[in-house]
Every structure is written in C-alpha cells, then in structure tokens.
Structure 1
Amino acid sequence: MEIDTVGDREAWVVFDAEAGWDVFVGEIDGQPPFLAWMSDTEFDAEESDIMENKSEAMRYGRFSFACYVHRGESWQPKHRRAQMKEIPFFLHRPDGRTVVPDSLESYAEAIPPELRGGEPPDYLGIQNAVVEYHH
C-alpha cells in the first residue's frame, strides 16, 4: 500500500519497539531510493520460506514499510494524481495494478485488513495504524 499524504491527508503507524527491527537504504530498478524496515517476525512469517535473509528480501522489494525519497520528476505525477481525488491513498496490488478507491466511503474497504482498526497481526510489529482524509 502506498500512502500519499499530499494535502489534507494523514497517515501514521505506531511500531512495536521490541520487535527486532532492521533498517535498510536501497533503490530498485531506477525507482526512488527508499528507507525500509522489517521486523524479525515479519521476515519469519512472510519471507523466510523464499528468501535467505532480510537483505535479500529488500533487494527484491519484499518489505511492508518504507519511506521513498522522491525527486521533482518522480514526485510531480504523484502530487498531481493525489490532488485529483479526495482519497488518502493509492493501493498497489501484487499483480502490478493500482487501485484508487472511487470515493471516501469506499476507501475503508480498500485498506488491507491488517491495517483496518482492531489489532494488526503480531508478526507485522504494528501496534496501531491510521489513514485519514480531512475535508
């Protein structure tokens, strides 16, 4: 899920400080550079059966949490797209499709279940997550 906080959008996540995090800086195939982090439990639950270690998972973009560092040429299209609709995010599916919810009412259903209120799965190392649009 990519959360674009352009304008009146807000996104925040509270992470579990005791989850055993590793932080990585990288770039994949000319995409904007990123700062990504992964907990030991997330790696064990989602990646350990196909990747040797967290570093390999990062090289293939197999991480849940990151901040991308955009330059003007990569940021401008995202900025324009975010201003076109009153929605808080774009959802990128594993098959390469990008889903943009049609309305504020439908965006709650598009958020992955593990980030919809309640308690996220323990292996993600998240205590709480919020994605909002203020209008």
Structure 2
Amino acid sequence: MSAPANTPWSNVYQLSSFLGQLEAEGGISVRALVDELDVDLPVDGIAYHDRGIRVPGYDATFVHEPTGSRGRPAFSVQIDAVGPRNTWAIFDNTLSWDVYLLRAEGVAALAWVSDEEYRIEEADQFSSKREALAAGRFSFGVFLYAGDAWREQVQQIQRTNAPAYLLREDGQPIVPGSQSEFYELVDSTVTEFRTSGAAPDYLGLLELEVTIDG
C-alpha cells in the first residue's frame, strides 16, 4: 500500500464531496477536477498508479458505474493512455472510500483509499487514514505531471511495447520490453487482472485492464 519511495506529502486535502459529485454527474475527469479546485497546479498529463504499476496518460476519468461489476455498485477509473494502451480499473463501491489531493514540492497526486485497506494494512502503524497518506501509504492513485516531468513520462513509455512500467520502492523505474515480460514481472496474467485485479478483496479492486494493442 505505498507510493514509490513512500513519498512524504506535506499537504493532504480530503475531497469529501467527490464520490457524491461523481454519482450526480456520472463522470469526472482528473484535469477538469483540478481546474474546479482552483489550485495552482499545472497538469500536462497523468500516470495511473496501481501498487507500483504506472501507466502514463493524457487524462484519467472517474465514472460512476450504477450497474456495477459482478452485482456490486462500483466506480471505475479510465485512462486516456499514451499510445495503443488500454487501461481501466473498477472498484467496489460497497466499501467506504475517501479521495484525497496530495501535494509536496514538485509532485502532486489524487489517491483513493478504502476504510478496509486502512484498517488491515495501516491502522497498527498510523492513527488515521490522513496520517498514512501523508507518509505515502496508498495503493491507488493518479499522479499529476507538467513540463519536463511529463515529457519524461511520455518518452519512457514510448520506448517500450509494454502496457506499463513499474516503479520500485526506491523510486527507480523498471521498464519491461513487452506485455508478456510485464506480466512475468508482476507474476500475474491478463485474465487474472480482468477477473480479480490480482488483489485481495479488502483493496476493493474488482477488475483491472492493463494491455497494449498490436
């Protein structure tokens, strides 16, 4: 449940009305959300973060899924990925979730964490979910990039035929050369991602698509 290198976040702001707004509007893009928040935060692109998996994209859109997945109400995150990549994730909305905007010098992210994830993985070490997030402890997020940092993301993913790259705990990237090599590194399969997210139930991830065409 960690961001790479456990980035310490100096500003942790809870978006308490986000999921209610999502249900009312049906869909919210990350870049539009940042504009609505009226914060000084330039965004040229994003990278979806899933337990160390990173997929750079031009935007990400949260979608309310009233019919859900496997009979459960859900919300999804759909990535407008760089290149012919297909990336989306579906989350169990029967769990209780909180969404946060995290900021530190030179970096920002949106993160969403369920009560179950906090209780099972972090409650013994941190007195609150906010404290855990400030220490960089979260499994799912969308990192926000601008300028040279965004160009670096694009160049890195364009050099490979893999659907994503990985970020180690020390912050160093691992860039597989193909989709098959990517799935070897994460010790999973396309089918397992699609049917369970290759995740324990308490994380609330129901389905995950990380593939590349061609």
Q: Deviations over 1:75-100 (max 9, x none)?
A: 00010111111111111122433221
Matched, 1:67 2:149: no
Cα 1:57–1:29 shift into 2, 3 Å:
farther
Which position in structure 2 is the counterpart of 1:130?
Answer: 209
Give the aligned CA root-mean-square deviation in angstroms. 1.8
Question: For 2:153, what is the secondary structure of its paired residue?
Answer: helix
User: C-alpha separation between the residues in 2 aligned to 1:3 and 1:49?
Assistant: 31
| AA at the equivalent of 2:206 | Q
Between the aligned partners of 1:105 and 1:76, the Cα distance in structure 2 is 26
Corresponding residue of 1:107 = 182
Contact 1:28 1:59 in 2 (8 A): no
Contact residue 12 and residue 131 of structure 1 kept, 8 A: yes
1:3 pairs with 2:55: yes
Q: CA deviation at 1:112?
A: 6.1
Which one has more relative contact order, counting CA pairs under 8 Å at least 6 apart? Answer: 1
Look up the match of 1:84.
159
Shift of 1:28: 3.0
Picking from 82, 104, 111, the partner of 1:28 is: 104
CA deviations on 1:13-53 (whole Å, 9 max, x unpaired) are: 1000111000100113422x111100011111211121111
2:116 counterpart of 1:41: yes
- 1:27 is paired with a residue whose SS is strand
Among 121, 127, 143, the residue aligned to 1:52? 127
Give, in whole Å, the separation in 2 of the partners of 1:22 and 1:128: 19
TM-superposition CA deviations, 1:88-120 (whole Å, max 9, x none) = 11111224332211322211122365x943433
Give runs of ≥4 in structure 1 deviating > 3 Å: none
- Secondary structure of the 1:69 match is strand
% identical aligned pairs: 34
Over 3 Å counting, the alpha-carbon distance change for 1:134 and 1:37 in structure 2 is: same
Amino acid aligned to 2:99:
V
* Structure 1, unaligned runs of 5 or more: none
User: After alignment, is 78-87 or 45-54 more displaced?
Assistant: 45-54
Q: Distance in 1 between matches of 2:139 and 2:161?
A: 24
Aligned pairs, number = 133
Higher Cα Rg: structure 1 or 2? Answer: 2
Q: What is the identity, as a one-letter code, of the residue corresponding to 1:124?
A: L
